[in-house]
Amino acid sequence: MAQAIAVDIGASSGRLVAGTLIEGKLELQELYRFENAFTRKDGHDYWEVDALLNELLTGLNRARLAGIDACTLGIDTWGVDYVLLDEAGERLHDVYAYRDVRTAGAPDRFHREHLDRQAVYGRTGIREMSFNTLYQLYVHDREQLRHARQIMLVPDYLYYRLTGLAINEATNASTTQLLNVHTREFDAELLGLLGLGREQFAALTQPGTRLGGLKAELAESGRYPDCTVIAVPTHDTASAVVGVPAAPGRSWAYLSSGTWSLLGAELAQPLNSEAARQAGYTNEWGAYGTFRFLQNIMGLWMIQEVRREEGSGRSFAELADRAAQEEPFRSLVPCNDERFLNPASMTEAIRHFCRDSGQPVPEDAARLARCIFDSLAFTYLDALVRLEELTGVSYDVLHIVGGGSNNRLLSQLTADLLGIEVRTGPSEATAIGSIAVQLIASGALADVAEARRVIADSFPSEKYRPNPVPGREMLERRWRTLTQLNPKES
Ligand code: ADP
Ligand code: LRH
């Protein structure tokens, strides 16, 4: 039986996972896993995209060695980052990583010089984030941009290197902040303001589209399975949302918890009101015409950095266990503050904020971790309050998926503070969502509703019920003062 292989590359790690449908259950086999991180050169941060391509090919070779002769294949990565290709289809530059400092202050300059932020949000529905492709292209070398024959996002580039076909997959293209939510196409005026033409981008490709086989030199090498390449939701969050095991009839919100925490709901129509903009909500395009109405929250990047700087090799599970022994809510930080986006030292940035705000300074990794998890849970609370106000829905359950769904302390804290049932897993929801879209495209599953039923039946999930939080009112007051934000106001 042909298998579906998901290549899922997050900011912190990548994996190839094979999925097979056996008697109504999805069985997974992890074929290969590798680390990912951006690297610094001459003061700038870049992704090693060709090293990622090599890892992808190593993983595909492992699939063949594991006896997989034929498969469908889909690729997803993080959003916003792009590759420029010349006439010969060669890469024109090193690929900037979204945390690179070059876009600091770029949104203010762009909106002053061109369209105001309200107008851009009204057209695109995409929340202003300094690293959106719009602002990255705005500060990119003009001459190089003019010479770009093709502009594609990172997964499009990996697809291109595998198949020779140029696509701009729609879910990820929406993270550029260049798509018009009304026309469902690139916004001609925004492209014009950047000096770009529509012909520099390929046609928008919808998830589920079959692209064909590997290009001849790869197919004929004998190293890889016979692949039918399928455009999946190439934005990792879009695949993750497909992989949420939501039960029909319950109103559910999701938290895709990895390097970023993406909290939101699946909507049939975009919600790009001024109130949604002020609340920091975005409308990324999802699979099958849906919208990912969500907030980007700084997420587990903060603990990844603290762990890296500590250098003890302690696992995330151990750090979470140790944090669970620490005093709760001792120190809190406003996670979404720009100072935590890419500080020289996350440990020092957190300590600095605590010192300046008169809070106890977290001395060791356990206390830093506790501070991060407590603060993230409070940020999730703010996001859920806004979500319910904006959509007018009171959610029954919050599904946490992604690597962060393994963090029991954070899951319980989230249930407690948000006062909502939390269901965790699967932690590989992104790969599973990609596999589900491949299985729908090949006719093995009918639609997303069936895929979600199968996912719910195939992977165990844990349920967390909310417990009262002692001293809650005082804590909320403290949090609000700290973040200078009243959750009821913008
Ligand atoms: P991304 O795809 O953005 O790279 P993942 O979805 O792989 O991220 O999630 C990685 C994060 O999951 C890690 O940063 C870590 O905080 C968390 N994580 C993974 N496993 C565990 C675990 N066993 N206990 C606690 N946290 C975990
Ligand atoms: C998560 C993610 C998220 C962010 C982007 C930069 O991996 O895709 O949606 O917006 O990275």
2 confidence band (pLDDT: 50, 70, 90): low
Q: What angle do CA 76, 68, 169 make, to 5 degrees?
A: 20
- Kindly give the number of the ligand 1 atom that is closest to the alpha carbon of 319: 25
**CB proximity list for 70: less than 8 A, separation 6 or greater:** 2, 3, 225, 226, 227, 228
**Interval between CA 44 and ligand 1 midpoint (Å):** 25
Pocket-testing residue among 127, 237, 261, 301, ligand 2, by greatest number of atoms within 8 A of Cβ: 237
Give the model's confidence band at 486: pLDDT under 50 very low, under 70 low, under 90 confident, else very high. Answer: very low
Q: Which of 134, 175, 292 has most ligand 2 atoms within 8 Å of CB, for mutation?
A: 175
Q: How far apart are CA 74 and CA 5, in angstroms?
A: 7
Q: Which ligand is nearest to the CA of 234?
A: 2
pLDDT tens by residue, 94-140: 999 999 999 999 999 999 999 999 999 999 999 999 999 999 999 99
pTM to 2 decimals?
Answer: 0.97
Name the residue at shortest CA distance from atom 8 of ligand 2: 78
Q: Which atom of ligand 1 is nearest to the CA of 259?
A: 3
Q: Quote the percentage of the chain above a pLDDT of 90.
A: 97
Kindly identify the ligand whose nearest atom is closest to the C-alpha of 133.
Answer: 2
Question: Nearest Cα to 301, choosing from 102, 12, 8?
Answer: 12
Atom of ligand 2 nearest to the CA of 175: 10
Measured from CB, residues less than 6 Å from any atom of ligand 1 are: 10-13, 258-259, 300, 303-304, 316-317, 320, 402-404, 406-407
Given a contact cutoff of 8 angstroms between Cβ atoms, the answer to whether 302 and 278 are in contact is: no
Contacts of 315 (CB under 8 A, 6+ apart): none
- For residue 281, CA distances in Å to 215, 294, 386, 411 come to 40, 5, 9, 22
235, 241, 260, best to mutate for ligand 2 pocket (most atoms within 8 Å of CB): 260
Domains 2-234 and 235-425+461-487 share a fold: yes
Question: Please, what's the largest Cα pairwise distance for the chain?
Answer: 66
pLDDT digits (tens, 9 = 90+) for 239-254: 999 999 999 989 999 9
User: C-alpha dihedral over 449, 418, 427, 349, to 10 degrees?
Assistant: 140
Crossing angle between the packed helical segments 408-418 and 365-391, to the nearest 10 degrees: 40
Q: Is 84 within 8 Å of 148 (Cβ atoms)?
A: yes
- pLDDT at site 489: 34
pLDDT of 485 above 80 = no
Give the Cα separation of 281 and 490 in Å (integer): 11
Ligand 2 centroid to residue 78 C-alpha, Å: 5
Q: Using the atom order of ligand 2, give the atom closest to the CA of residue 78.
A: 8
For residue 403, how far is its CA from the centre of ligand 1 (angstroms)?
3
Q: Residue 5: name the closest of 360, 301, 442 by CA.
A: 442
- Pocket probe for ligand 1: among 15, 16, 154, 259, the residue whose CB has the most ligand atoms within 8 Å is 259
With a 6 A CB cut-off, is 98 part of the ligand 2 pocket? yes
The CATH number given to 2-234 is: 3.30.420.40
Q: Are strands 13-22 and 25-35 parallel, antiparallel or unpaired?
A: antiparallel
Atom 23, ligand 1: residue with shortest CA distance:
317
List pLDDT tens digits, range 145-159: 999 999 999 999 999
CATH topology of domain 235-425+461-487: Nucleotidyltransferase; domain 5 (3.30.420)
What is the atom index within ligand 1 of the atom nearest the CA of 402? Answer: 6
Check if 80 has its Cβ closer than 6 Å to any atom of ligand 2.
yes
Q: Is 108 a catalytic residue?
A: no
Kindly report whether the peptide bond that precedes residue 426 is cis, defined as omega within 30 degrees of 0. Answer: yes
pLDDT in tens, 151-208: 999 999 999 999 999 999 999 999 999 999 999 999 999 999 999 999 999 999 999 9
ipTM of the complex: 0.99
Instruction: Tell me the pLDDT band of 1, cut-offs 50, 70 and 90.
Output: low
Amino acid at 206: Q
Average pLDDT over residues 268-296: 98
* pLDDT mean over 63-74: 98
Tell me the mean pLDDT in the region 308-326: 97
Atom of ligand 1 nearest to the CA of 236: 2
Q: Is the CB of residue 11 below 6 angstroms from any atom belonging to ligand 2? A: yes
Question: Among positive and negative, which fits the CA dihedral 57, 439, 447, 22?
Answer: negative
pLDDT value for 488: 38
Q: What is the pLDDT of residue 487?
A: 41
Q: Is the CB of 262 under 6 A from ligand 2?
A: yes
Q: Are 245 and 456 within 8 A, CB to CB?
A: yes
CA dist., res. 28 & res. 20, Å (int): 7
Residue 370 has pLDDT above 60, yes or no: yes
Percentage of the chain modeled with pLDDT above 70: 98
Which of 236, 374, 382, 416 is catalytic? The answer is: 236
374-403 pLDDT, tens per residue? 999 999 999 999 999 999 999 999 999 999
User: Is the minimum distance from the CB of 326 to ligand 2 under 6 angstroms?
Assistant: no
Write the residue with the smallest CA distance to atom 19 of ligand 1. Answer: 403
Q: Averaged over 464-475, what is the pLDDT?
A: 98
* Residue at 152: amino acid letter: M
Measured distance CA(214)–CA(27) in Å, rounded? 25
pLDDT in tens, 92-101: 999 999 999 9
pLDDT digits (tens, 9 = 90+) for 216-236: 999 999 999 999 999 999 999
Mean pLDDT of the chain: 97
Q: Which ligand ends up closest to the CA of 298?
A: 2
Is the C-beta atom of 36 inside 6 A of ligand 2?
Answer: no
User: What pLDDT is stored for residue 484 in this prediction?
Assistant: 79
Alpha-carbon distances, residue 416 vs 139, 250, 322, 337 (angstroms): 43, 20, 19, 24
Closest ligand 2 atom to Cα of 256: 1
Tracing tokens 């590359």 back to the chain, one arrives at: 9
Q: What does the domain layout of the chain look like in residue ranges?
A: 2-234, 235-425+461-487
